[in-house]
Chains A and B, each alone.
Chain A
């Protein structure tokens, strides 16, 4: 599934230069299911948005888990919580630092990753896959467009 995303990301970058008027940066490949779009925030959250289900899976980035150190505790929002973009929705604790996490998009929390209660280390081992934090049903899918691409996100912290 992820090799598909990488190929789609390359294809999307190429197609954007020729199709700037396209309002959505999701690419549909005929015959395949819709691609999941990954966008980033400056606060090191990433949301993987599936526009078919309208759900965004929120996690922290690989860079974030590296700079945090070993995660010992994850605070997650309650299922059903209504969040606005930028609201504090939880926290990650590592080596005595509690770092707040913010909602990258607005919507309702539909699912939280209960595995993190017993295995907070998942955030270090697999931050953007098995260590996903919660899923939000987006109330305003267009918010995804305002988030950073991987390249823009990296530019915020790469020296």
Chain B
């Protein structure tokens, strides 16, 4: 019995982080409810965020208080997420992917370590096949161009075998200056890299979306079907609502407000 397709949607306008968290949560609840009748869908959201720094669940609000003040003063949002991993940056020029999958569709279910491993390999193989960018192996999760340059990060949450959050891959140079303001992922000497810098060519986030969708389908063994939000019930409505919010939010800071 073949697995159903993964429905994907690419948001063309950078999204506010907190509202996107709410969308993920909504989809998670819809999946949880629909799973009882096995009518739930697996979704892949592809997007950029407006400038935001996020931390995982290891750090407490107290620990982050000073960082929160500093980072919002340079013009970014700040949010704590329930995903694994530590402090990181999301913003325009970086492709963010949120696979919202049911790991228990297969029997036996996909283990969490395998799920993360496949995600990492997917990004590595996309970079190699489409951009001839080779990665170096690392003990740290994520994709590295060399021991001190990280091009993609992973941070995931799993509840009742339903996944939320996912991966982030730097495409243009725009995120790099923002990354330079923090120690991301707890890795002190590591800086951010991106496809544009690694290849010395102009690439936009929208250019990488089709290749990532393909790589995702191949790596996870799933057919990828473009979601039509107009025909997708409650899920589709929530997506359209978020897109409207994103447009209404207007422009964003291209670089941090440094004194």
Residues of A whose CB lies within 8 Å of any CB of B are 43, 66-69, 73, 75, 88, 91, 93-100, 102, 157-159
16 A-B pairs within 8 Å (CB atoms) are namely A67-B114, A69-B112, A69-B116, A73-B84, A75-B57, A93-B56, A93-B84, A95-B84, A95-B113, A98-B57, A98-B82, A98-B158, A99-B112, A99-B157, A99-B158, A100-B157
Q: Which residues of A contact B79 (CB under 8 A)?
A: none
CA of A102 to CA of B161, assembled, Å: 12
CB distance from A94 to the nearest CB of B (A): 7
Given A67-B111, A157-B108; A93-B57 close (CB under 8 Å): yes
Q: Which residues of B contact A93 (CB under 8 A)?
A: 56-58, 84
**Which of B107, B114, B154 contacts A96 (CB under 8 A)?**
B154
Number of interface residues of B (CB under 8 A): 26
**Which of A69, A91, A96, A157 contacts B85 (CB under 8 A)?**
A96
CA of A96 to CA of B143, assembled, Å: 13
Q: Which residues of B contact A68 (CB under 8 A)?
A: 111-113
Counting chain A CB atoms within 10 Å of each CB, the highest count among B58, B82, B84, B159 belongs to B84
CA of A158 to CA of B111, assembled, Å: 12
- The reply on B115 being an interface residue by CB < 8 A is yes
CA of A43 to CA of B108, assembled, Å: 13
The answer to whether B108 and A159 touch across the interface, beta carbons within 8 angstroms, is yes
CA of A95 to CA of B84, assembled, Å: 8
